[in-house]
A and B are shown apart, each in its own frame.
Chain A
Amino acid sequence: EAQVTQNPRYLITVTGKKLTVTCSQNMNHEYMSWYRQDPGLGLRQIYYSMNVEVTDKGDVPEGYKVSRKEKRNFPLILESPSPNQTSLYFCASRPWDRGDNYGYTFGSGTRLTVV
């Protein structure tokens, strides 16, 4: 089944403890992106990647890092999480060569709480 898989689905952590949220897609998509969703603010882009070793900042990159060493994986790294990073996180992917009107596939989400 074609899908985007995120892990973990739920995570509670303490301030300052480094964590990684993994994202993997099995559709050979070039483009991958991370979003966070907060009440009243909608989904906002954190980072995106156009292909292996090509990443760029989105609207809210502060406090996050990403890497794209393999085409299928795009982990989100929080080096020193803070409570304002408590949010619902989504990873998404799409192929690059299907035109602008091709939709994105989203992972099931990771609900992160930083205490």
Chain B
Amino acid sequence: EAGVTQFPSHSVIEKGQTVTLRCDPISGHDNLYWYRRVMGKEIKFLLHFVKESKQDESGMPNNRFLAERTGGTYSTLKVQPAELEDSGVYFCASSLIGTGGSEQFFGPGTRLTVL
């Protein structure tokens, strides 16, 4: 069974440009999460989808970040316009719905560098 996949693996853009990250969760996983790790800091929660609905987006840094999950399958995270402080590794994770101890399966991350 395929794990969580993310595209691209690396992205280097200039300040002010737009970047869109994609996450494909494990098939059948209704929960989808985005996290971010900024250099030297811990992994931090950004937002959570259940199917196509946003359950919690309290971790989104500001309105330059837009996440979507149309159809409840893959998700995209768009950063527009990108700023220097947006550099970091963006992780996506998925888990089954309704299982209390269910672990979250993480993707390999997208390393974003904003110059």
Q: Do A and B come from one complex?
A: no
Q: Which residues of A contact B (CB under 8 A)?
A: none
